[in-house]
A = this chain, B = another copy of it.
């Protein structure tokens, strides 16, 4: 209701501000008997953590997930799975000079308009720090999906105007995690890195696109008419800080296509109904059809730039602002893990929903 929960059966509620004691989450509805592989969760957390590449902030966040409840001998019990992630490397002083000004294109102004309160310490609840909780919960979801052999893999497909001009089917999946920007094309990645280094010098930031692929998803997930699978994925993705767009299958390009070009013909391959193409992106009528699900998420540039910007203070007086702190130049390489996590949460919820129809 107040926006800090997602999912209906597999339901995550999150809490915590960037500069408080800890952030955390509670998963209610996690089936019992899931073995919580802490190494896997740690690895997932490290994929989101900053200070890992040229595009990221130099803040060091350990992001250790500490489970408080819901486990017995390392397995889920069916009780709520609660966890916290302590905030270790805070420097509230970085934010002191922001106390009385609204940062352009940040949430400072809208939170103030909505709640009547100005918590200037690093954005408080609006900080992208909250996405660490999403990644932790997403890792739990991935452990459930693994039982069904469902795989989710995202990567950086574009930063600024530099884009991989290949379909996901043509990229080298193994290359993604080896690349500092999670871009599976070495050449493209080095161009991206050059751009980022240049923007860092300029005190500027840049946007980009994450592509995500879900493989081995069974047919039947999605609840028409309002909770279609793509609808829930779209909501999940647009809830990520800085996300500005979502498209699946042929996406925006499908607006230029004819039905005869777009439609995925049915075929019979070895007595199995298959599809000759996958323009649909694995979802038809709001329900997964068994093919790969793939989608893109567009991210705007990070708002915190050190370049001078015009703004006003809380009293409305015009002034200039130059945001110091330690900020990302491009959020996209880190957002890859958040996109995957949100996809995992959506899929797990729908997977459990499907069981109620049997």
Using a CB-CB cutoff of 8 Å, which residues 238-256 of chain A contact chain B?
Answer: 238-239, 241, 243-252, 254-256
Contact of A207 with B254 at beta-carbon distance under 8 Å, contacts A2-B28, A238-B234 already known: yes
Closest residue of chain B to A82 (Cβ to Cβ) is B15
Interface of A, secondary structure class, is: mixed
Contact of A255 with B104 at beta-carbon distance under 8 Å, contacts A16-B68, A273-B312 already known: no
Which of the segments A49-57, A122-130, A176-184, A186-194 contacts the partner chain?
Answer: A122-130
Q: Is A353 an interface residue (CB 8 A)?
A: yes
Q: Report the bound CA distance from A354 to B2 in whole Å.
A: 9
Q: Report the bound CA distance from A304 to B16 in whole Å.
A: 38
Which of the segments A38-46, A145-153, A166-174, A285-293 contacts the partner chain?
Answer: A285-293
Q: Report the bound CA distance from A232 to B238 in whole Å.
A: 8
Q: For residue A290, which residues in chain B have a CB less than 8 angstroms away from its CB?
A: 113
For chain A, give the interface size range: 35 or more
Chain B nearest CB from A83 CB (Å) reads 9
Q: For residue A222, which residues in chain B have a CB less than 8 angstroms away from its CB?
A: 3, 110, 114
Contact A246 B245 (CB under 8 A): yes
Using a CB-CB cutoff of 8 Å, which residues 102-153 of chain A contact chain B?
Answer: 102, 104-111, 113-117, 119, 124-126, 130
Q: For residue A281, which residues in chain B have a CB less than 8 angstroms away from its CB?
A: 244
Contact B20 A69 (CB under 8 A): yes
